[in-house]
Amino acid sequence: MKIAFITLPLVALVCLSTLAQPIKLHKDNPHYFDYKGKPTVLITSGEHYGAVVNMDFDYVKYLQTLKKEGFNHTRLFLGDYVENVGAFCIVRNTLAPAPGRFIAPWMRSNTPGFAYGGNKFDLDKWNPEYFKRLKGFFEEAQKNDIVVEAVLFFVGPGWEAMPMNPKNNINKTTDIKNTQYMTLNNGNILKYQEAYCRKIVNELNGFDNVIFNVANEPWFINQEIEGFSSPPANETKEWIERVSEWIKNEESKLGKTHILSVDYANEGKPIKEEYLKTYFKNISVFNHHYDKNAESLALNYHLPVAITFNETGLMHAISPQYRMQGWKYMLSGGALYNNLDFTFQVGTEDGTGSTEYSCDWYNGSTFPQVRMSIKAIKNFMESIDFINMRPLSAKDMVECHGDERFTIFGKENFYVIYLQGSYRTRAYLKLKDGNYKFTYINPIDGNVIMKNNHIVKEGKMNFLTPEYQEDILIKIEKM
Protein backbone atom coordinates (compact mmCIF):
# COMPACT_ATOMS: atom_id res chain seq x y z
CA MET A 1 0.00 0.00 0.00
CA LYS A 2 2.84 2.38 0.83
CA ILE A 3 4.48 1.87 -2.57
CA ALA A 4 1.23 2.54 -4.43
CA PHE A 5 0.61 5.61 -2.30
CA ILE A 6 4.01 7.07 -3.16
CA THR A 7 3.93 6.15 -6.85
CA LEU A 8 0.64 7.86 -7.70
CA PRO A 9 1.71 11.33 -6.55
CA LEU A 10 4.99 10.95 -8.46
CA VAL A 11 3.08 10.15 -11.66
CA ALA A 12 0.82 13.10 -11.00
CA LEU A 13 3.83 15.35 -10.50
CA VAL A 14 5.31 14.24 -13.81
CA CYS A 15 2.03 15.01 -15.58
CA LEU A 16 1.77 18.40 -13.90
CA SER A 17 5.34 19.32 -14.80
CA THR A 18 4.61 18.43 -18.42
CA LEU A 19 1.55 20.68 -18.49
CA ALA A 20 3.01 23.54 -16.43
CA GLN A 21 4.99 25.20 -19.19
CA PRO A 22 4.89 28.76 -20.49
CA ILE A 23 2.91 29.50 -23.63
CA LYS A 24 4.98 28.68 -26.71
CA LEU A 25 4.65 28.20 -30.46
CA HIS A 26 2.96 24.96 -31.47
CA LYS A 27 5.50 22.36 -32.62
CA ASP A 28 3.28 21.12 -35.48
CA ASN A 29 2.30 24.58 -36.73
CA PRO A 30 4.36 27.56 -35.50
CA HIS A 31 1.75 30.01 -36.78
CA TYR A 32 -0.18 29.25 -33.59
CA PHE A 33 0.40 28.86 -29.88
CA ASP A 34 0.53 25.89 -27.53
CA TYR A 35 -0.79 26.68 -24.06
CA LYS A 36 -1.50 24.14 -21.36
CA GLY A 37 -0.89 21.40 -23.91
CA LYS A 38 -3.56 22.64 -26.34
CA PRO A 39 -3.45 24.43 -29.72
CA THR A 40 -4.30 28.05 -28.90
CA VAL A 41 -5.27 31.30 -30.57
CA LEU A 42 -5.36 34.48 -28.51
CA ILE A 43 -8.38 36.71 -29.07
CA THR A 44 -9.55 39.60 -26.95
CA SER A 45 -11.04 43.06 -26.68
CA GLY A 46 -8.83 44.68 -24.07
CA GLU A 47 -8.01 47.94 -22.29
CA HIS A 48 -5.33 50.46 -23.24
CA TYR A 49 -2.46 48.74 -21.40
CA GLY A 50 -2.53 50.76 -18.16
CA ALA A 51 -4.04 48.17 -15.79
CA VAL A 52 -0.98 48.06 -13.50
CA VAL A 53 0.65 51.50 -13.79
CA ASN A 54 -2.70 53.23 -13.11
CA MET A 55 -3.29 52.68 -9.40
CA ASP A 56 -6.97 53.61 -9.69
CA PHE A 57 -7.72 50.79 -12.15
CA ASP A 58 -9.38 47.69 -10.66
CA TYR A 59 -7.52 44.98 -12.55
CA VAL A 60 -9.33 42.17 -10.73
CA LYS A 61 -12.71 43.26 -12.07
CA TYR A 62 -11.18 43.80 -15.52
CA LEU A 63 -9.58 40.36 -15.77
CA GLN A 64 -12.69 38.66 -14.40
CA THR A 65 -14.73 40.46 -17.06
CA LEU A 66 -12.43 39.20 -19.82
CA LYS A 67 -12.81 35.66 -18.50
CA LYS A 68 -16.59 35.98 -18.14
CA GLU A 69 -16.92 37.25 -21.70
CA GLY A 70 -14.83 34.43 -23.10
CA PHE A 71 -11.49 36.11 -23.87
CA ASN A 72 -7.99 34.86 -23.14
CA HIS A 73 -5.55 37.74 -23.70
CA THR A 74 -4.56 41.27 -22.75
CA ARG A 75 -1.59 43.61 -23.28
CA LEU A 76 0.20 45.45 -20.49
CA PHE A 77 2.69 48.33 -20.40
CA LEU A 78 5.17 47.87 -17.55
CA GLY A 79 6.13 51.40 -16.50
CA ASP A 80 8.92 52.86 -18.60
CA TYR A 81 6.24 54.91 -20.38
CA VAL A 82 3.10 56.75 -19.29
CA GLU A 83 0.73 59.12 -21.08
CA ASN A 84 -0.63 62.50 -20.09
CA VAL A 85 -4.35 63.12 -19.79
CA GLY A 86 -5.62 63.80 -23.31
CA ALA A 87 -2.85 61.96 -25.15
CA PHE A 88 -3.93 60.66 -28.56
CA CYS A 89 -7.16 62.63 -28.02
CA ILE A 90 -8.46 59.94 -25.62
CA VAL A 91 -10.66 61.55 -22.99
CA ARG A 92 -10.65 58.61 -20.53
CA ASN A 93 -7.42 56.68 -20.90
CA THR A 94 -6.21 53.94 -18.54
CA LEU A 95 -2.62 54.66 -19.59
CA ALA A 96 -2.98 58.28 -18.40
CA PRO A 97 -3.39 58.06 -14.60
CA ALA A 98 -4.67 60.99 -12.59
CA PRO A 99 -1.92 63.17 -11.02
CA GLY A 100 -0.07 61.22 -8.36
CA ARG A 101 -1.61 57.87 -9.38
CA PHE A 102 1.16 56.58 -11.67
CA ILE A 103 3.08 53.69 -10.11
CA ALA A 104 6.39 52.67 -11.66
CA PRO A 105 9.08 50.02 -11.05
CA TRP A 106 11.28 52.64 -9.34
CA MET A 107 10.95 54.41 -6.02
CA ARG A 108 10.27 58.12 -5.88
CA SER A 109 13.06 60.28 -4.51
CA ASN A 110 12.75 63.21 -2.09
CA THR A 111 13.23 65.63 -4.98
CA PRO A 112 10.10 67.19 -6.53
CA GLY A 113 9.77 67.62 -10.27
CA PHE A 114 8.28 64.61 -12.10
CA ALA A 115 6.52 65.90 -15.21
CA TYR A 116 3.11 64.49 -14.25
CA GLY A 117 3.24 65.36 -10.57
CA GLY A 118 5.05 64.17 -7.49
CA ASN A 119 8.73 63.58 -6.89
CA LYS A 120 11.34 62.45 -9.38
CA PHE A 121 12.35 58.78 -9.61
CA ASP A 122 15.44 57.07 -8.23
CA LEU A 123 16.35 54.52 -10.89
CA ASP A 124 18.69 52.72 -8.49
CA LYS A 125 15.88 51.73 -6.13
CA TRP A 126 13.08 49.28 -6.97
CA ASN A 127 9.54 49.98 -5.81
CA PRO A 128 8.20 46.98 -3.85
CA GLU A 129 4.61 48.25 -4.07
CA TYR A 130 4.83 48.24 -7.86
CA PHE A 131 6.09 44.67 -8.01
CA LYS A 132 3.42 43.57 -5.55
CA ARG A 133 0.79 45.05 -7.86
CA LEU A 134 2.47 43.62 -10.98
CA LYS A 135 2.60 40.09 -9.61
CA GLY A 136 -0.92 40.40 -8.27
CA PHE A 137 -2.06 41.24 -11.80
CA PHE A 138 -0.33 38.20 -13.29
CA GLU A 139 -1.65 35.91 -10.57
CA GLU A 140 -5.20 37.09 -11.27
CA ALA A 141 -4.65 36.79 -15.02
CA GLN A 142 -3.36 33.24 -14.63
CA LYS A 143 -6.34 32.36 -12.42
CA ASN A 144 -8.65 33.59 -15.21
CA ASP A 145 -6.74 31.88 -18.07
CA ILE A 146 -5.60 35.20 -19.52
CA VAL A 147 -2.28 35.26 -21.42
CA VAL A 148 -0.53 38.62 -21.01
CA GLU A 149 1.77 40.30 -23.48
CA ALA A 150 4.13 42.19 -21.15
CA VAL A 151 5.42 45.25 -23.03
CA LEU A 152 8.85 46.31 -21.81
CA PHE A 153 9.55 49.48 -23.80
CA PHE A 154 7.89 52.32 -25.68
CA VAL A 155 8.79 55.94 -26.29
CA GLY A 156 6.50 57.37 -28.98
CA PRO A 157 5.51 60.94 -28.11
CA GLY A 158 6.04 60.46 -24.37
CA TRP A 159 9.76 61.09 -23.77
CA GLU A 160 9.21 64.28 -21.75
CA ALA A 161 7.37 62.35 -19.02
CA MET A 162 9.31 59.08 -18.98
CA PRO A 163 11.18 58.10 -15.79
CA MET A 164 14.45 57.59 -17.68
CA ASN A 165 14.40 61.16 -19.00
CA PRO A 166 16.99 63.10 -16.95
CA LYS A 167 14.33 65.68 -16.10
CA ASN A 168 12.36 63.00 -14.22
CA ASN A 169 15.02 61.20 -12.17
CA ILE A 170 17.89 62.00 -9.79
CA ASN A 171 20.36 59.65 -11.47
CA LYS A 172 21.76 62.03 -14.08
CA THR A 173 20.75 59.92 -17.05
CA THR A 174 22.13 61.04 -20.37
CA ASP A 175 20.27 63.91 -22.00
CA ILE A 176 19.25 62.36 -25.33
CA LYS A 177 16.74 62.95 -28.09
CA ASN A 178 13.67 60.74 -28.03
CA THR A 179 14.88 59.08 -31.24
CA GLN A 180 17.91 57.72 -29.35
CA TYR A 181 15.91 55.91 -26.62
CA MET A 182 15.44 52.74 -28.68
CA THR A 183 19.02 52.63 -29.98
CA LEU A 184 22.36 51.51 -28.53
CA ASN A 185 23.46 55.15 -28.72
CA ASN A 186 21.56 56.34 -25.65
CA GLY A 187 24.35 56.89 -23.15
CA ASN A 188 23.97 55.55 -19.63
CA ILE A 189 20.25 55.01 -20.21
CA LEU A 190 21.18 51.66 -21.75
CA LYS A 191 22.39 50.31 -18.41
CA TYR A 192 19.16 51.41 -16.73
CA GLN A 193 17.14 49.80 -19.51
CA GLU A 194 19.07 46.56 -18.99
CA ALA A 195 18.60 46.59 -15.21
CA TYR A 196 14.86 47.28 -15.59
CA CYS A 197 14.47 44.57 -18.26
CA ARG A 198 16.27 41.95 -16.20
CA LYS A 199 14.33 42.85 -13.06
CA ILE A 200 10.96 42.51 -14.82
CA VAL A 201 11.97 39.20 -16.40
CA ASN A 202 13.18 37.89 -13.07
CA GLU A 203 9.95 38.85 -11.30
CA LEU A 204 7.69 37.33 -13.98
CA ASN A 205 9.70 34.22 -14.85
CA GLY A 206 7.54 31.93 -12.74
CA PHE A 207 4.36 32.68 -14.68
CA ASP A 208 3.30 30.54 -17.65
CA ASN A 209 0.89 33.13 -19.09
CA VAL A 210 3.56 35.61 -20.23
CA ILE A 211 4.80 36.71 -23.65
CA PHE A 212 7.60 39.27 -23.30
CA ASN A 213 7.19 42.08 -25.81
CA VAL A 214 10.48 43.86 -26.45
CA ALA A 215 8.92 47.07 -27.72
CA ASN A 216 5.61 48.62 -28.66
CA GLU A 217 5.70 50.43 -32.02
CA PRO A 218 9.49 50.80 -32.22
CA TRP A 219 8.94 52.40 -35.63
CA PHE A 220 6.98 55.33 -34.12
CA ILE A 221 9.91 57.79 -34.35
CA ASN A 222 12.55 55.41 -35.74
CA GLN A 223 11.32 54.42 -39.20
CA GLU A 224 13.13 52.37 -41.82
CA ILE A 225 11.13 54.12 -44.54
CA GLU A 226 8.88 57.16 -44.42
CA GLY A 227 5.15 56.61 -44.26
CA PHE A 228 2.39 55.08 -42.18
CA SER A 229 3.64 51.52 -42.60
CA SER A 230 7.31 51.01 -41.78
CA PRO A 231 9.45 48.55 -39.82
CA PRO A 232 11.84 50.07 -37.26
CA ALA A 233 15.12 51.53 -38.48
CA ASN A 234 18.20 49.31 -38.46
CA GLU A 235 19.71 51.07 -35.44
CA THR A 236 16.52 50.28 -33.55
CA LYS A 237 16.59 46.68 -34.78
CA GLU A 238 20.09 46.42 -33.28
CA TRP A 239 18.71 47.66 -29.95
CA ILE A 240 15.82 45.14 -30.19
CA GLU A 241 18.37 42.38 -30.66
CA ARG A 242 20.26 43.53 -27.56
CA VAL A 243 17.13 43.65 -25.41
CA SER A 244 16.16 40.16 -26.56
CA GLU A 245 19.62 38.96 -25.55
CA TRP A 246 19.15 40.41 -22.04
CA ILE A 247 15.89 38.49 -21.70
CA LYS A 248 17.34 35.21 -22.96
CA ASN A 249 20.42 35.58 -20.80
CA GLU A 250 18.41 36.34 -17.67
CA GLU A 251 16.05 33.43 -18.24
CA SER A 252 18.99 31.06 -18.75
CA LYS A 253 19.63 31.49 -15.01
CA LEU A 254 15.99 30.92 -14.06
CA GLY A 255 13.46 28.09 -14.22
CA LYS A 256 11.43 28.91 -17.32
CA THR A 257 11.86 30.21 -20.87
CA HIS A 258 9.26 32.44 -22.50
CA ILE A 259 8.62 33.39 -26.10
CA LEU A 260 9.37 36.96 -27.19
CA SER A 261 7.40 39.29 -29.42
CA VAL A 262 8.03 42.62 -31.10
CA ASP A 263 5.78 45.09 -32.88
CA TYR A 264 6.98 45.08 -36.50
CA ALA A 265 4.89 47.56 -38.50
CA ASN A 266 1.56 49.21 -39.03
CA GLU A 267 -0.43 47.17 -41.57
CA GLY A 268 2.16 44.85 -43.09
CA LYS A 269 5.68 44.81 -44.46
CA PRO A 270 7.89 41.83 -45.43
CA ILE A 271 10.00 40.38 -42.65
CA LYS A 272 13.32 39.51 -44.25
CA GLU A 273 14.39 35.95 -43.53
CA GLU A 274 17.92 37.14 -42.82
CA TYR A 275 16.54 39.21 -39.93
CA LEU A 276 15.34 36.00 -38.23
CA LYS A 277 19.00 35.02 -37.93
CA THR A 278 20.25 38.43 -36.78
CA TYR A 279 18.12 41.21 -35.31
CA PHE A 280 15.18 38.92 -34.53
CA LYS A 281 16.98 35.67 -33.76
CA ASN A 282 15.24 35.46 -30.37
CA ILE A 283 11.82 36.71 -31.57
CA SER A 284 9.05 34.32 -32.58
CA VAL A 285 5.94 36.55 -32.51
CA PHE A 286 5.59 39.55 -34.84
CA ASN A 287 2.85 42.08 -34.06
CA HIS A 288 1.11 44.48 -36.41
CA HIS A 289 -1.27 47.39 -35.87
CA TYR A 290 -4.23 48.58 -37.97
CA ASP A 291 -3.79 45.72 -40.46
CA LYS A 292 -7.25 46.05 -42.01
CA ASN A 293 -6.49 43.83 -45.01
CA ALA A 294 -4.33 41.18 -43.30
CA GLU A 295 -1.32 42.31 -45.36
CA SER A 296 1.15 41.10 -42.72
CA LEU A 297 -0.08 37.54 -43.24
CA ALA A 298 -0.12 37.71 -47.03
CA LEU A 299 3.50 38.87 -46.96
CA ASN A 300 4.90 36.70 -44.17
CA TYR A 301 2.85 33.52 -43.73
CA HIS A 302 5.67 31.48 -45.28
CA LEU A 303 7.86 32.19 -42.25
CA PRO A 304 7.83 29.78 -39.26
CA VAL A 305 6.64 32.44 -36.81
CA ALA A 306 3.37 33.67 -35.30
CA ILE A 307 1.94 36.75 -37.04
CA THR A 308 -0.49 38.86 -35.04
CA PHE A 309 -2.79 41.89 -35.17
CA ASN A 310 -2.54 43.29 -31.66
CA GLU A 311 -3.97 46.81 -31.90
CA THR A 312 -7.03 48.05 -33.75
CA GLY A 313 -8.19 51.64 -34.08
CA LEU A 314 -8.37 54.71 -36.32
CA MET A 315 -12.00 53.90 -37.14
CA HIS A 316 -15.38 55.13 -35.95
CA ALA A 317 -16.19 53.95 -32.43
CA ILE A 318 -19.00 51.64 -33.57
CA SER A 319 -17.64 50.55 -36.93
CA PRO A 320 -18.38 46.95 -37.99
CA GLN A 321 -14.74 46.86 -39.11
CA TYR A 322 -13.63 45.90 -35.60
CA ARG A 323 -15.46 42.64 -36.19
CA MET A 324 -14.72 42.27 -39.88
CA GLN A 325 -11.00 42.84 -39.59
CA GLY A 326 -10.84 40.23 -36.85
CA TRP A 327 -12.60 37.56 -38.91
CA LYS A 328 -10.45 38.28 -41.96
CA TYR A 329 -7.22 38.24 -39.97
CA MET A 330 -7.84 35.04 -38.06
CA LEU A 331 -9.09 33.21 -41.16
CA SER A 332 -5.96 34.35 -43.01
CA GLY A 333 -3.72 32.47 -40.58
CA GLY A 334 -3.38 34.94 -37.69
CA ALA A 335 -2.37 33.76 -34.23
CA LEU A 336 -3.78 36.67 -32.24
CA TYR A 337 -6.35 39.45 -32.54
CA ASN A 338 -6.56 42.23 -29.95
CA ASN A 339 -9.29 44.82 -30.33
CA LEU A 340 -8.20 47.92 -28.40
CA ASP A 341 -11.32 48.61 -26.32
CA PHE A 342 -11.79 51.97 -24.62
CA THR A 343 -14.94 50.90 -22.77
CA PHE A 344 -12.59 49.65 -20.01
CA GLN A 345 -11.83 52.68 -17.84
CA VAL A 346 -11.28 53.62 -14.23
CA GLY A 347 -14.70 53.04 -12.67
CA THR A 348 -15.97 50.90 -15.54
CA GLU A 349 -13.50 48.03 -15.46
CA ASP A 350 -16.41 45.78 -16.47
CA GLY A 351 -16.35 47.35 -19.94
CA THR A 352 -19.55 49.39 -19.65
CA GLY A 353 -17.92 52.76 -20.21
CA SER A 354 -17.97 55.07 -23.19
CA THR A 355 -15.53 57.75 -24.14
CA GLU A 356 -15.10 60.72 -26.40
CA TYR A 357 -12.15 61.80 -28.47
CA SER A 358 -10.98 65.39 -28.42
CA CYS A 359 -9.93 65.47 -32.08
CA ASP A 360 -11.02 63.91 -35.36
CA TRP A 361 -7.84 62.09 -36.38
CA TYR A 362 -7.97 59.40 -33.68
CA ASN A 363 -10.86 57.09 -32.82
CA GLY A 364 -11.11 53.68 -31.24
CA SER A 365 -13.60 51.02 -30.23
CA THR A 366 -16.01 52.28 -27.55
CA PHE A 367 -19.04 50.11 -28.29
CA PRO A 368 -19.48 47.34 -25.69
CA GLN A 369 -21.56 45.17 -28.04
CA VAL A 370 -18.59 44.70 -30.35
CA ARG A 371 -17.17 42.28 -27.80
CA MET A 372 -19.96 39.81 -28.59
CA SER A 373 -18.70 39.68 -32.18
CA ILE A 374 -15.04 39.35 -31.13
CA LYS A 375 -16.07 36.51 -28.82
CA ALA A 376 -17.84 34.82 -31.76
CA ILE A 377 -14.51 34.79 -33.62
CA LYS A 378 -12.79 33.06 -30.71
CA ASN A 379 -15.60 30.54 -30.26
CA PHE A 380 -15.54 29.66 -33.93
CA MET A 381 -11.76 29.30 -34.14
CA GLU A 382 -11.81 26.98 -31.15
CA SER A 383 -14.50 24.86 -32.81
CA ILE A 384 -12.38 24.02 -35.86
CA ASP A 385 -9.10 22.16 -36.38
CA PHE A 386 -7.17 25.36 -37.12
CA ILE A 387 -3.80 23.81 -36.30
CA ASN A 388 -4.10 21.66 -39.46
CA MET A 389 -5.60 24.37 -41.67
CA ARG A 390 -4.08 27.15 -43.75
CA PRO A 391 -5.13 30.17 -45.82
CA LEU A 392 -6.08 29.27 -49.39
CA SER A 393 -6.19 31.32 -52.57
CA ALA A 394 -9.65 32.65 -53.36
CA LYS A 395 -8.57 33.16 -56.97
CA ASP A 396 -7.93 29.44 -57.30
CA MET A 397 -11.19 28.35 -55.67
CA VAL A 398 -13.90 30.92 -56.42
CA GLU A 399 -15.44 32.49 -59.49
CA CYS A 400 -17.62 35.49 -58.71
CA HIS A 401 -18.48 38.47 -60.89
CA GLY A 402 -19.49 40.82 -58.09
CA ASP A 403 -17.49 43.05 -55.75
CA GLU A 404 -17.47 40.56 -52.90
CA ARG A 405 -14.22 39.75 -51.10
CA PHE A 406 -13.49 36.14 -50.17
CA THR A 407 -11.16 34.89 -47.44
CA ILE A 408 -10.73 31.10 -47.47
CA PHE A 409 -9.19 28.95 -44.75
CA GLY A 410 -9.14 25.19 -44.92
CA LYS A 411 -7.72 21.72 -45.26
CA GLU A 412 -8.74 18.74 -47.39
CA ASN A 413 -12.53 18.26 -47.30
CA PHE A 414 -13.10 21.12 -44.82
CA TYR A 415 -13.22 24.81 -45.71
CA VAL A 416 -14.28 28.10 -44.19
CA ILE A 417 -15.19 31.05 -46.38
CA TYR A 418 -15.48 34.54 -44.91
CA LEU A 419 -17.39 36.67 -47.40
CA GLN A 420 -17.60 40.46 -47.32
CA GLY A 421 -20.29 41.96 -49.50
CA SER A 422 -23.99 42.67 -49.12
CA TYR A 423 -27.46 41.21 -49.68
CA ARG A 424 -26.90 37.86 -51.48
CA THR A 425 -23.96 36.35 -53.32
CA ARG A 426 -23.90 33.78 -56.10
CA ALA A 427 -20.55 32.21 -56.88
CA TYR A 428 -18.92 29.13 -58.40
CA LEU A 429 -16.74 27.10 -56.10
CA LYS A 430 -14.06 24.63 -57.19
CA LEU A 431 -14.03 21.49 -55.02
CA LYS A 432 -13.38 17.79 -55.36
CA ASP A 433 -16.41 15.81 -56.48
CA GLY A 434 -18.69 14.64 -53.70
CA ASN A 435 -21.44 15.63 -51.29
CA TYR A 436 -20.90 18.69 -49.10
CA LYS A 437 -22.73 20.24 -46.18
CA PHE A 438 -22.88 24.05 -46.16
CA THR A 439 -23.47 25.90 -42.89
CA TYR A 440 -24.10 29.65 -43.11
CA ILE A 441 -23.16 31.59 -39.96
CA ASN A 442 -23.82 35.15 -38.81
CA PRO A 443 -20.41 36.70 -37.97
CA ILE A 444 -22.01 39.17 -35.58
CA ASP A 445 -22.99 36.54 -33.02
CA GLY A 446 -21.81 33.18 -34.40
CA ASN A 447 -25.35 31.83 -34.76
CA VAL A 448 -26.27 29.50 -37.63
CA ILE A 449 -28.47 31.13 -40.28
CA MET A 450 -29.09 28.17 -42.56
CA LYS A 451 -27.79 24.75 -43.60
CA ASN A 452 -28.03 22.95 -46.91
CA ASN A 453 -26.28 20.26 -48.94
CA HIS A 454 -24.64 20.47 -52.34
CA ILE A 455 -23.29 17.93 -54.83
CA VAL A 456 -20.08 18.76 -56.65
CA LYS A 457 -19.63 17.23 -60.10
CA GLU A 458 -16.72 17.75 -62.44
CA GLY A 459 -14.92 19.79 -59.78
CA LYS A 460 -17.28 22.74 -59.74
CA MET A 461 -20.58 23.88 -58.25
CA ASN A 462 -22.52 27.12 -57.81
CA PHE A 463 -24.12 28.31 -54.61
CA LEU A 464 -26.31 31.19 -53.48
CA THR A 465 -25.98 32.59 -49.99
CA PRO A 466 -28.95 33.61 -47.84
CA GLU A 467 -29.48 37.34 -47.45
CA TYR A 468 -26.89 39.11 -45.30
CA GLN A 469 -25.54 42.54 -44.49
CA GLU A 470 -21.82 43.33 -44.66
CA ASP A 471 -20.47 39.80 -44.14
CA ILE A 472 -21.30 36.12 -43.78
CA LEU A 473 -19.39 33.00 -42.79
CA ILE A 474 -19.72 29.70 -44.66
CA LYS A 475 -18.48 26.39 -43.27
CA ILE A 476 -18.15 23.64 -45.88
CA GLU A 477 -17.65 19.97 -44.93
CA LYS A 478 -17.40 17.00 -47.23
CA MET A 479 -19.89 14.34 -46.15
If you count DSSP H runs as helices and E runs as strands, how many of each does the chain have, helices first?
A: 9, 22
pLDDT tier at 16, thresholds 50, 70, 90? very low
Query: So what's the pLDDT on residue 368?
Result: 85
Does position 3 have pLDDT exceeding 80, yes or no? no
Q: How far is CA 401 from the centre of its chain?
A: 36
Q: What is the mean pLDDT of residues 358-365?
A: 86
What are the distances in angstroms from CA 99 to CA 21, 124, 348?
A: 39, 23, 19
Higher pLDDT, 166 or 86: 166
Query: So what's the pLDDT on residue 317?
Result: 86
Query: So what's the pLDDT on residue 382?
Result: 98
pLDDT in tens, 324-338: 999 999 999 999 999
pLDDT in tens, 267-304: 999 999 999 999 999 999 999 999 999 999 999 999 99
Q: What is the mean pLDDT of residues 164-176?
A: 98
Higher pLDDT, 393 or 363: 393
DSSP letter for each residue of 142-199: HHTT-EEEEEEE--TT-GGG-TTSGGGBSS------GGGTTSS-STTHHHHHHHHHHH
**Helix, strand or coil, per DSSP, at residue 385:** coil
Query: So what's the pLDDT on residue 115?
Result: 96
In this prediction, what percent of the chain has a pLDDT beyond 70?
A: 96
pLDDT in tens, 223-257: 999 999 999 999 999 999 999 999 999 999 999 99
The span from the CA of 102 to the CA of 133, in Å, is 12
**Rg (Cα) of the chain, in Å, rounded?**
24
pLDDT in tens, 399-441: 998 888 999 999 999 999 999 998 899 999 999 999 999 999 9
Q: What is the mean pLDDT of residues 87-101?
A: 93
In this prediction, what percent of the chain has a pLDDT beyond 90?
A: 89
Does position 394 have pLDDT exceeding 50, yes or no? yes
pLDDT tier at 19, thresholds 50, 70, 90? low
Q: What is the pTM of this model?
A: 0.95
The span from the CA of 440 to the CA of 450, in Å, is 5
